[in-house]
């Protein structure tokens, strides 16, 4: 993928004018700010725009496939198009009360590119996550079970991501290599004990078996990238979710696992009571399903930690450090390494629940 300059104001105005949408006719773009993280495959822009005789309003504009290759690139060929499918298919309208997405989402084609435009809900996303709000998020995340019951056949849609826990499994060999180099790197040798390194190798090797077990669990619609940065609680207590590139079919509990896995690394405050969160999620999804799904949810949570969470941290996470990420910013580097260490040790603590025998005994 070739990096290209971001579109200017005139280009964005022309794109909005090419398609009727909630932004109104004759819209003028007043300012553009680049929000692209460099981790995805779309340009992400915050656009202030106003139609004649209206006040300026903030919009998020995504231009799919405009991004660049990064260490986090997935092997998933539909990744850059899935969010457009999500909004274009009407699945967002199936979400029950308690879940919400940005309003005004509109998908259209302009100059051979797919554009996705939606209201900016940055104010909701910028809240501080606490253990209490995380508990609410756990209960609300269970509601993703509902669309699959409302629309029969939804989970068979061909554009949904399958086996999202394996989306980054192609990083497993790099994860092994990175673990093997720790003892020879003065900055990293204290990250894990030799016993922990051995256990992490074991968990990376268990990815295929973990995926096989996860595929046998009761399935639900999953956001697939439910992290504190992609979620917020609106003024009515609904869980607002953005960035649906990984929306798919997965085991119950998987979304809770991704949220907990990155809670600390993505700015969450306070220590989470993971068993209590699992009980809240498991109880809620069991009530929706009419059967006890709590054991399955526990295995889904463990799978998220031991696959998705480990693959990202030990693969591109450690690779970025070895390549010099934040070398000149000690505080940022320390935070990144803390997330790698704490996330990996948290994963090891779930190894017993997932049947990755031997790894859970060395988590400290």
214 vs 75: CA distance, rounded Å? 20
- In the prediction, which pLDDT does 70 show? 58
- In the prediction, which pLDDT does 362 show? 47
- Rounded average pLDDT over 36-42: 67
Strands (E), the chain: 28-34, 42-50, 57-64, 99-100, 106-110, 113-119, 161-162, 219-222, 231-233, 239-241, 248-251
Q: How confident is the model at residue 360 (pLDDT cuts 50, 70, 90)?
A: very low
Domains of the chain (ranges plus CATH)? 9-120 (3.30.200), 124-362 (3.90.1200)
Residue 4 has pLDDT above 60, yes or no: yes
pLDDT tens for residues 193-246? 999 999 999 999 999 999 999 999 999 999 999 999 999 999 999 999 999 999
Q: How confident is the model at residue 30 (pLDDT cuts 50, 70, 90)?
A: very high
- Rounded average pLDDT over 43-55: 94
- Rounded average pLDDT over 156-161: 96
Q: Tokens in use for 336?
A: 């990144």
Question: Is residue 208 exposed (0-12), middle (13-18) or buried (19+ Cβ within 10 Å)?
Answer: exposed
**Range with the poorest average pLDDT among 19-28, 54-63, 67-76, 237-246:** 67-76
- Residue 254 · residue 354 · CB < 8 Å: no
Q: Considering only CA atoms, give the Rg of the chain.
A: 21
Cβ of 157: how many Cβ atoms within 10 Å?
16
Count of alpha carbons within 13 angstroms of residue 39, beta-carbon side: 10
- Rounded average pLDDT over 66-71: 62
Instruction: Give first-to-last CA distance, the chain, whole Å.
Output: 41
Share of the chain above pLDDT 90, in %: 82
- In the prediction, which pLDDT does 353 show? 76
**Range with the poorest average pLDDT among 14-23, 123-132, 216-225, 328-337:** 328-337
């Amino acid at each position: 993928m070739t990096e290209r300059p971001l579109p200017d104001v005139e280009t964005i105005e022309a794109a909005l004018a090419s398609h009727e949408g909630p932004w109104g006719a004759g819209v003028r773009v007043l300012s553009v700010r680049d929000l692209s993280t460099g981790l995805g495959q779309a340009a992400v822009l915050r656009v202030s725009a106003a139609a004649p005789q209206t006040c300026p309003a903030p919009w998020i504009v995504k231009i799919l496939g405009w991004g660049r290759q990064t260490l986090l690139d997935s092997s998933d060929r539909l990744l850059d198009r899935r969010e457009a499918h999500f909004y274009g298919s009407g699945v967002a309208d199936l979400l029950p009360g308690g879940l919400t997405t940005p309003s005004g989402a509109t998908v259209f084609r302009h100059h051979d590119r797919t554009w996705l435009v939606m209201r900016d809900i940055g104010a909701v996303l910028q809240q501080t996550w606490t253990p209490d709000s995380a508990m609410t998020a756990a209960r609300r995340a269970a509601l993703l079970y509902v669309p699959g019951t409302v629309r029969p056949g939804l989970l068979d849609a061909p554009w949904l991501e399958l086996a999202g826990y394996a989306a980054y499994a192609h990083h497993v060999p790099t994860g092994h290599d990175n673990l093997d180099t720790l003892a020879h790197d003065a900055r990293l040798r204290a990250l894990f004990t030799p016993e922990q390194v051995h256990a992490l190798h074991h968990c990376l090797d268990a990815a295929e078996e973990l995926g096989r077990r996860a595929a046998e669990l009761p399935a639900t619609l999953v956001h697939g990238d439910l992290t504190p940065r992609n979620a917020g609680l609106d003024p009515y207590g609904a869980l607002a979710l953005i960035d649906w590139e990984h929306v798919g079919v997965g085991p119950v509990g998987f979304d809770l696992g991704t949220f907990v896995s990155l809670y600390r690394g993505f700015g969450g405050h306070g220590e989470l009571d993971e068993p209590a969160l699992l009980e809240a999620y498991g109880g809620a999804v069991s009530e929706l399903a009419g059967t006890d799904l709590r054991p399955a949810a526990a295995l889904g949570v463990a799978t998220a930690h031991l696959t998705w969470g480990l693959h990202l941290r030990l693969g591109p996470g450690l690779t970025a450090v070895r390549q010099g990420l934040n070398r000149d910013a000690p505080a940022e580097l320390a935070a990144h390494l803390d997330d790698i260490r704490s996330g990996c040790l948290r994963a090891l603590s779930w190894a017993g629940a997932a049947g990755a025998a031997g790894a859970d005994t060395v988590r400290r």
